[in-house]
Structure 1
Amino acid sequence: MLSDGPRGLRALVIEDEVHMAGLMASYLERADFEVEIAHNGPAGVGAARTLDPDVVILDLGLPGMDGVEVCRTLRTFSDAYIVMVTARDDEVDKLIGLSVGADDYLTKPFSPRELVARLGAMLRRPRRVGSSTSSDVMSFGPLSVDPVGREVWLSSEPVHLTRTEFDVLAALAHAPNVAFSRRQLIEAVWGGDWVGDEHLVDVHVGHLRRKLGDDASSPRFIRTVRGIGYRMGPGQ
């Protein structure tokens, strides 16, 4: 029996291999997801607009409109968690997928139980839970991070982050000047049972820096700590 599956949430599987799509859908349904399947990119985008899914499992190697382009399109209207699935054990594929807004990746073959566990961990992350007060907001010069409202402003302008990008930033912001290893950030954002390439963190930090206009060689907000990982705050 599968456990830790959230109830009543919607999952969209975009996968051209019919057997694989059906297998993933079966496990997701047993974990109490409502599941829809699309077998190509355009159909997946259309289904996402109609379904408004909580999570999307997206194959990278779709014919015609590939997974990277689908992911880029989904990010124009959806903040669903996106797990990119690739049949090629190639780091470049993984990084390309994540750079357009995917939250995680899996390389085939993988256990459907692992997929369900990762989705469950993602969906247990907190959402907006109420109104913020000024004491909730963390400020770093012109950058403000509101962990309750899950909003970020830079020089009073809103910064649009994916859920995972926000979670990485919030984890760093909660403990300014504390150096986090990649493993500590994985545990804080993806959960302690996450298994995979810890350089996933580097991709999301790079994406954050781009959106915040933060130069890695002279950072204002997120500093690389050589041999350890990252920390929030000015240099010493």
Structure 2
Amino acid sequence: MRVGRLTIDPPVREVLAGDQLLRMSAREFDLLTLLASDLHRVWPFGALVKALWHTDYLGDHEQLASTVKRLRKRLGPNAGCEVHSVHGVGYRLQAVDAAVA
């Protein structure tokens, strides 16, 4: 799976930014893989919580927000993609055009 400058390899649970291996937690990897699986989708908080923690969403998304924050930090500015917040709804992954920066 390719997004921006990332290559995500779910079977071996690796993410490469160019030729550099990005180290991330299992939860960060799962979140990235889920978001990358459908780039045109805004993933609602409830769907992400259910997929990552296998529990129902009860309105508190602090744990999810913390995971997103860590993932954004791991991706950094050179990944060619960003995790975007959709206010009051959830998150989506979007490829970033380097020429627009």
Normalized against structure 1, the TM-score is what?
A: 0.37
Distance 2:61 2:88 in 1: 14
Residue 86 (structure 2) aligns with: 225
Measure the CA separation in 2 of the matches of 1:221 and 1:169: 10
Matches within 5 A, 1:145-164: 145-164=8-27
**Larger Rg: 1 or 2?**
1
More strand by share: 2
* Structure 1: gaps (5+ residues): 1-137
Residue 189 of structure 1: CA displacement? Answer: 1.0
Q: Distance in 2 between matches of 1:197 and 1:225?
A: 16
RCO higher in structure (CA 8 A, sep ≥6)? 2
- What is the CA–CA distance in structure 2 between the aligned matches of 1:154 and 1:199, rounded to whole Å? 27
| Amino-acid identity (%) | 32
Which position in structure 2 is the counterpart of 1:205? 68
2:45–2:61 CA contact under 8 A, matched in 1: yes
Q: TM-score, normalised by structure 2?
A: 0.81
Q: Which runs of 5+ in 2 are unaligned?
A: 97-101
Matched residues, number: 95
Question: Aligned AA for 2:95?
Answer: P
CA-CA distance at 1:197 after TM superposition: 3.1
Deviation at 1:196, TM superposition (A): 7.8
The answer to whether the 8 A contact 1:140-1:221 is kept is no
